[in-house]
Amino acid sequence: MCGLTGFVTASGSSDLTSGIRRMCEAIAHRGPDDSGEWIDPQLGVALGFRRLSIIDLSPAGHQPMLSASGRFVATLNGEIYNFEELRRELPAIAYRGHSDTEVMLAAFETWGVERAVRRFNGMFAIAVWDRDERRLHLVRDRMGVKPLYYGVCGSTFLYGSELKALEQHPDFDRTIDRDVLPLYLRFLYIPAPFSIYAAVRKLMPGTILTWAQATHTITTSEYWSARDAAIAGTQNPFKGTEEEAAAQLEQLLRDSIRLRMVADVPLGVFLSGGVDSAVVTALMQRESTRPVKTFTIGFDDPSYDEAPFAKAIARHLGTEHTELYFGEDDAVDVIPKLPAMYDEPFADSSQIPTHLVSALARRHVTVSLSGDGGDELFGGYTRYFIGQRVFRRLHRLPPILRPLAGRALTMLAPRSWDRLLAAGGRLLPGALRQRPGERIHKVARTLKANDSDAMYLELVSHWPNIAIHATAHEAPVTKPGAWLSKLDPVERMMFLDQTSYLPDDILTKVDRASMAVSLEAREPLLDYRLVEFSWTLPLPMKVGRGKGKHLLRRVLYRHVPESLMERPKMGFGIPIDSLLRGRLRDWAEALLDESLLRSQNLLDAAAVRAKWQEHLAGKGDWKSHLWGVLMLQAWLAARVTSRTG
């Protein structure tokens, strides 16, 4: 996995070595096995690396690495899974070792950076310095699995896997981007290309950025885009039968998983008990000659606990299964670590169990596969298969009655709805049986929407603009012109989730939670060939019959009995709502103190306090809203401490 960082500054700058070493040390958790730097003091160039040894554990895999001719110097965070295939196509050279990094450099010399990158199948962030042209190229993988930040601070161009590396450089500009706060509070993550800092951006997935030292200019180019994949796939749909589609899907899945099982260290798989992780585990076991190591965590609250389901799947598949139950104390202990783990405000509360399962896996393996991406590619979220149906039915109401209906549905708090519907839960659709009160409140919010696109934004939004003195940036997810209007409304939702929620929330969460314990997480469902194939599938093969992931389930049921899988989707979370009223109340109260909020002059203090009081009184379930503010406040508090400590 590893971490990379570096900078290009004014030529002839002094003390580049200590500067790059400080930046590398800040991300030592991403690569505890080795560190390295390459410096050109005359040109003011410094590339740094922290290594988590996965492929070629010998010194021949050390980075930064020079190409055979010496033209390119590169660092690679992640993996190029098809490096053996590429090695066979490239001209024969005397390789020093058997790492994918060395093959990557040979590809750059043979085909050039952009042509080579188009051939790579993997998850990666790459920094490569072209010594002939004096250009730095940054590359991010197609789906945005690996992070890459960059920025210009004064005369220095900085980059790194995490913000904490950039923060170590003396030229770093710590000015907060106030205009990103409305986006953060709306989505509970900061959408790319923005970051919490005004001077720093995230490189977009599928993009190559070039910094020309001579002109101090940045240019970018797309070598792949989800937009093009969606257009091409829907315009050239799969023509075969459903059985033929399932066969092709399984073949692609097995090849993707096989590629991601290449490692010189122990590996396993996260098994949550859901469809996505189950299909990865089942096919991984088929590819393995020994029992696969599977890892699951359970929670004391049964409404958040999928561990028994995961255990049953593991028993059926014959895996070497490890499970760990955690309670409130374990969850609470993680919270102080979150600001440093994520570097900027991030408020998906499943970050806590994701970190706990990563820590469990790291005791046994260095690499773990996961099922991330299945919902977005194959239609797993409730909003895909119920949202549209509910939207159409509710919008038969005259416009004048919709606000009244919305108010009626929210007169009862979510917990009250849960109690009211508990007796008749069996009569509800399966997708609505888990915490139905939350879903009813979401339905009420959609009544404000005039069309299905507005409905989507209502469903994925949280706070209105409570950031003061801020004008929200326009991100891709808030830009209707980028929404592929010719797609079916459900496909548009899937496209938006693939290009925003998936990289900026799900993959960010997994990367930081796993890398904090030096664990490499691999996502076989996000092989770009699977992404492109998924867009060729007719929508009924993904979403239909009152549930999602239809074709993925069909593949799974070849290996796991349907009886082990047919249950409501639970998600992967913890009871933040009750924790805020209990164990976390004092912590939250201190961060939400009205005088503190007013002194910071970032948020509408009265609005925050009103939501807090309603939540404490049980008049509303504002856990997501409040968690967003709390993660911002915790990050601000940690920032002050780090500056003064």
Give every CB contact of residue 548 below 8 A, 6+ residues apart in sequence: 375, 378, 379, 380, 381, 384, 385, 542
Q: In Å, how far are 26, 231, 391, 396, 496 from 388, measured between CA atoms? A: 46, 22, 5, 13, 15
Max CA separation in the chain (angstroms): 75
| Residue 300 burial by Cβ neighbours in a 10 Å radius (0-12, 13-18, 19+) | middle
Tokens of 422: 């508990």
Instruction: Tell me the pairing of strands 3-8 and 45-51.
Output: antiparallel
Closest Cα to residue 314, out of 290, 294, 287, 289?
294
| Residue 485 burial by Cβ neighbours in a 10 Å radius (0-12, 13-18, 19+) | exposed
Give every CB contact of residue 76 below 8 A, 6+ residues apart in sequence: 2, 4, 63, 100, 101, 104, 124, 125, 126
Give every CB contact of residue 181 below 8 A, 6+ residues apart in sequence: 467, 470, 602, 603, 632
Closest Cα to residue 493, out of 352, 385, 630?
385
8: enclosing H helix or E strand: strand 3-8
Residue tagged 């079916």 (tokens): 488
Q: Which of 1, 2, 52, 477 is catalytic?
A: 2
- CA–CA gap between residue 2 and residue 79 (Å, rounded): 10
Q: In Å, how far are 401, 410, 445 from 407, measured between CA atoms? A: 10, 5, 9
Give every CB contact of residue 436 below 8 A, 6+ residues apart in sequence: 417, 418, 421, 425, 428
Instruction: Tell me the pairing of strands 3-8 and 156-160.
Output: antiparallel
Q: Is 2 a catalytic residue?
A: yes
Contact present, 107 and 86 (Cβ < 8 Å):
yes
Neighbours of 546 (CB within 10 A): 11
Strand stretches in 291-340, DSSP E:
293-299, 320-326
| Residue 409 burial by Cβ neighbours in a 10 Å radius (0-12, 13-18, 19+) | middle
- CA–CA gap between residue 48 and residue 1 (Å, rounded): 14
- CA–CA gap between residue 133 and residue 135 (Å, rounded): 5
- CA–CA gap between residue 358 and residue 162 (Å, rounded): 18
Neighbours of 289 (CB within 10 A): 4
The residues annotated with a catalytic role in the active site are: 2
